Chains A and B, each alone.
Chain A
C-alpha cells in the first residue's frame, strides 16, 4: 500500500486518498453513540458510508494495480488493505461472486470495545460488514449495494472467530 504524509498540512494519503488515524476511544465511542440513537438507524448510515468508501477506493485500487489480475489476487489485496488499516485479520478465501462466508480471527472493534466497554451480547463489527459489501462489488464489477453482509457470529460474544455471511441482494 502506498502511503504518503505531508507534514506541513498534516495530510496522510493512502493510495492518494485522505485518511486519518483515530484510537479506539473515538472509534468505539462513535459506534456506541450511533447505536444508542433513537429515531434513526444510525448504524445503517455507518455501514452504508463504509460500503461506499471501500467500494470507491478499492475499485480505484483495482483499476490502478490489479486490473488484469485474477479474483483471488484481488481478494488477497482486500484482506491486506483491511489489515494495513488496522481493522484486524480476515480470511476471505471462501468468498465467490455469488457470496459466501468470511471469517476474522482478529478484530479491531472487538479488541477496542473489550478494552473500553467490556463484553457485549451482540456483534460489533459493523465496519467490516460495510467493508465486505464494498470490496465485493468492486472486485466483481457489480453496482454499489449488490451485496448484503450480516455478522452471524462475533468474537465479542464469546466465539473464537467472527463470521460474516455475504449474499447477493435479490
Chain B
C-alpha cells in the first residue's frame, strides 16, 4: 500500500470547496452544502422515533441509499478531478491503493474519522470510526440503541467498493452492500462497517 493517508487528507483539504457569490457550492459534479451535525442527528433520530419499527427500517434504508448516491457520485467526481490527478493519483498503484485514498479523502468532510481495518480485494472492506457524531448523541438523548445508527458511514463504505471494484461508473452503484456490525450507540467501543458483494 503506497498511499499516505495523512498526505491525502492534507492535499484533499486544499480542494476548492467554497460558495460562489450566489451561495452555491459546486464541486466535482455535485452541489455541496454545509450544515450542523446536530441538525442531521435531530432529523434522523426524531423521525425514526416517531414511527414503528418497520417504517423506521424503511426510512433508514432510504437514508442509506441517499448517502450511497452522495458518496458514489462525489467520490467519483473527486477521483476524476484535476487536483486528484495531479496530487493523489501518482501515489496510487493498485485498486487497493485507490480504496485507501478514497477512505482518506472522506476525512475532510467533517463526519468523523474513518479508517480501513481490513481489505480483501474485490470482496470485502472493513472500516472503523471512533468519533462519529450521532452515536454519542443517541446515547445522550435516547439511551443504548438496538441497532447501529451510522447509516452515513455504512453507505460510504459500500460506495468505495462500488467505485473501485464494481462495474464502470455510473453502473456500479449497489454492487456492494454494507452493514454496521458495531456501533457506539449500542455501547460498542467503536463503530465498524463491513461492505461485501450484494447477493
Given contacts A19-B37, A106-B23, contact A33 B32 (CB under 8 A): no
A50 engages B31 (CB within 8 Å): no
The verdict on B92 contacting chain A, using a C-beta distance below 8 Å, is no
B42 engages A52 (CB within 8 Å): yes
Question: Inside 8 A of A40's CB, which chain B residues have their CB?
Answer: 47, 50-51
Question: Inside 8 A of A34's CB, which chain B residues have their CB?
Answer: 43, 47
For the complex formed, measure the closest distance between the CB of A55 and the CB atoms of chain B, giving whole angstroms.
Answer: 11
Bound together, the chains give a CA A29 to CA B111 distance in angstroms of 18
A45 engages B47 (CB within 8 Å): yes
Choose the segment among B68-76, B79-87, B177-185, B187-195 that binds chain A (4+ C-beta atoms closer than 8 Å).
B68-76
The verdict on B121 contacting chain A, using a C-beta distance below 8 Å, is no
A39 engages B55 (CB within 8 Å): yes
For the complex formed, measure the closest distance between the CB of A60 and the CB atoms of chain B, giving whole angstroms.
Answer: 12
The verdict on A17 contacting chain B, using a C-beta distance below 8 Å, is yes
For the complex formed, measure the closest distance between the CB of A103 and the CB atoms of chain B, giving whole angstroms.
Answer: 13
A86 engages B33 (CB within 8 Å): yes
A19 engages B24 (CB within 8 Å): no
Choose the segment among A7-15, A62-70, A143-151, A162-170 that binds chain B (4+ C-beta atoms closer than 8 Å).
A7-15
Choose the segment among B59-67, B93-101, B140-148 that binds chain A (4+ C-beta atoms closer than 8 Å).
B59-67
The verdict on A157 contacting chain B, using a C-beta distance below 8 Å, is no
From A5, A33, A84, A87, B63 is in contact (CB under 8 Å) with A33
The verdict on B30 contacting chain A, using a C-beta distance below 8 Å, is yes
From B9, B43, B106, B133, A46 is in contact (CB under 8 Å) with B43
The verdict on B114 contacting chain A, using a C-beta distance below 8 Å, is yes
B107 engages A42 (CB within 8 Å): no
Cross-chain pair count, CB within 8 angstroms: 177
Q: Which residue of B lies closest to A14 (CB)?
A: B34
The verdict on A96 contacting chain B, using a C-beta distance below 8 Å, is no
Question: Inside 8 A of A89's CB, which chain B residues have their CB?
Answer: 21-23
Count of residues in B whose CB is under 8 Å from the partner chain: 50
Question: Inside 8 A of B107's CB, which chain A residues have their CB?
Answer: 7, 10
Question: Inside 8 A of B118's CB, which chain A residues have their CB?
Answer: none
A10 engages B114 (CB within 8 Å): yes
Given contacts A30-B43, A84-B19, A88-B22, contact A23 B31 (CB under 8 A): yes
The verdict on A27 contacting chain B, using a C-beta distance below 8 Å, is yes
Q: Which residue of B lies closest to A40 (CB)?
A: B50
Question: Inside 8 A of A29's CB, which chain B residues have their CB?
Answer: 62-63, 65-67, 69-70
**10 extra interface residue pairs, beta carbon distance < 8 Å, beyond A25-B30, A88-B22, A88-B23:** A7-B6, A7-B13, A20-B109, A34-B47, A40-B50, A53-B38, A53-B42, A83-B21, A90-B23, A105-B22
- What 3 A-B pairs have minimum CB-CB distances, sorted nearest first? A29-B66, A12-B110, A20-B110
Contact sample, A vs B, 11 pairs, CB 8 Å cutoff: A8-B113, A10-B108, A10-B109, A12-B110, A26-B69, A27-B33, A39-B51, A40-B51, A84-B19, A86-B34, A89-B23
Using a CB–CB distance below 8 Å, which chain B residues touch chain A? 6, 9-10, 13, 17, 19, 21-25, 30-40, 42-43, 46-47, 50-51, 55, 59, 62-63, 65-67, 69-70, 73-74, 106-114, 131, 133
